[in-house]
């Protein structure tokens, strides 16, 4: 925001005033380092608001633009690219002239809030840190490579039809073995690990949006193949998988009930067998939130 109009100067003053006597930090033209690249690059954020939430620093980035005509999808595209590798939890784009329909659709699909200058003046930015959103996230894992290790190493060529032996009896071929290892070993271990360690794996939205590259090795005992009258024992089968993310922002309603802030959203996703309704209750001065879920079977299409 190199050249501020009077409207945006007032917005900056509003944010500072809104954050007085709180533990919120407001920085103009704040530098943030891009992540997930070899040499971190500093990117400038028009206004950065930071606050400690549950032991972590939550960050809201505000980008401002002053134009005579409505801001279009190109600006939203540039913000999506800019914040893909920046460690912020929410991006708010403020325009003095409003936004085109295409810009609104693209921003909604990518979790960017669009506000006019008048709407921005109505935001209590200090309260923005306690508002929760709901997002449906799923990864489809597909095997990319499969590697079999032998002892001693096999120099001759093998094929998927090469027989696998146990105690002198054929128990299948290499293709059967790899399919069994993937189904009973990698797939059964990968999904529970993914669920249990989700918050450790994905620390920012940029992490979620990137394809996952996963390697898993299944150890093998007492199985071997034969070639040139020599036995080659199979020691392991290693899979490299790529997890492609599916991300869907859930529309939420927020209201207060007595002293609690309630966030409500419905997970109506086609690939799910049930429709889930979630309520998150945030109580004042409580560092944790309480989650309530209700599930109903999806009606089958006739």
The helix (run of H) or strand (run of E) holding residue 10 is helix 6-18
Out of 67-76, 191-200, 236-245, the most confident range is 236-245
Q: Could you list the residue range(s) of the whole structural domain that residue 76 is in?
A: 6-130
Q: Which residue in 155, 279, 292, 283 sits closest to 225, CA to CA?
A: 155
- Residue 205 within any structural domain of the chain: yes
Q: What average pLDDT score do residues 185-193 get?
A: 87
Contact 263, 242 (CB under 8 A): no
Co-location of 155 and 108 in the same domain: no
- Residue 1 within any structural domain of the chain: no
Give whole-number Cα distances, 161 to 164, 186, 215, in Å. 9, 22, 24
The pTM for the full model equals 0.52
* Confidence tier at 1 by pLDDT (50, 70, 90): very low
The last residue of one of the domains, among 130, 145, 171, is 130
Co-location of 27 and 122 in the same domain: yes
Q: Which of 72-81, 270-279, 286-295 has the lowest mean pLDDT?
A: 286-295
- Residue 302 within any structural domain of the chain: no
Co-location of 13 and 107 in the same domain: yes
The helix (run of H) or strand (run of E) holding residue 239 is strand 230-250
Co-location of 212 and 117 in the same domain: no
- The three-class DSSP label of residue 156 is coil
- Residue 274 within any structural domain of the chain: yes
Residue 212: pLDDT over 70 = yes
């Amino acid at each position: 925001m190199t050249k501020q109009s009077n409207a945006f100067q007032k917005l900056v003053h509003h944010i500072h005033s809104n954050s007085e006597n709180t533990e919120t930090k407001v920085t103009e033209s704040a530098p943030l380092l891009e992540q997930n690249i070899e040499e971190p690059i500093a990117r400038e954020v028009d206004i950065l608001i930071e606050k400690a939430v549950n032991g972590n620093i939550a960050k809201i980035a505000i980008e401002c633009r002053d134009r005579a005509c409505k801001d279009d999808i190109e600006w939203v595209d540039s913000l999506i690219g800019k914040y893909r590798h920046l460690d912020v939890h929410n991006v708010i784009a403020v325009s003095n002239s409003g936004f085109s329909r295409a810009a609104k659709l693209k921003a909604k699909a990518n979790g960017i809030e669009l506000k006019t200058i008048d709407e921005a003046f109505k935001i209590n930015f200090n309260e923005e840190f306690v508002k929760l959103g709901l997002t449906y996230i799923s990864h489809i894992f597909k095997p990319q490579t499969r590697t079999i290790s032998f002892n001693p190493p096999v120099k001759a060529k093998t094929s998927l039809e090469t027989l696998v032996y146990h105690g002198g009896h054929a128990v299948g071929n290499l293709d059967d073995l790899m399919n069994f290892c993937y189904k009973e070993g990698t797939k059964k271990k990968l999904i529970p690990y993914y669920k249990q360690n989700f918050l450790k794996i994905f620390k920012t939205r940029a992490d979620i949006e990137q394809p996952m590259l996963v390697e898993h090795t299944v150890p093998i005992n007492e199985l071997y193949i034969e070639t040139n009258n020599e036995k080659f024992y199979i020691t392991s089968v290693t899979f490299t998988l790529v997890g492609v993310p599916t991300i869907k922002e859930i529309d939420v309603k927020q209201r207060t009930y007595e002293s609690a802030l309630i966030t409500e959203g419905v997970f109506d996703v086609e690939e799910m067998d049930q429709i889930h309704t979630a309520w998150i209750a945030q109580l004042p001065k409580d560092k944790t939130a309480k989650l309530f879920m209700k599930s109903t079977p999806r009606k089958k299409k006739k």
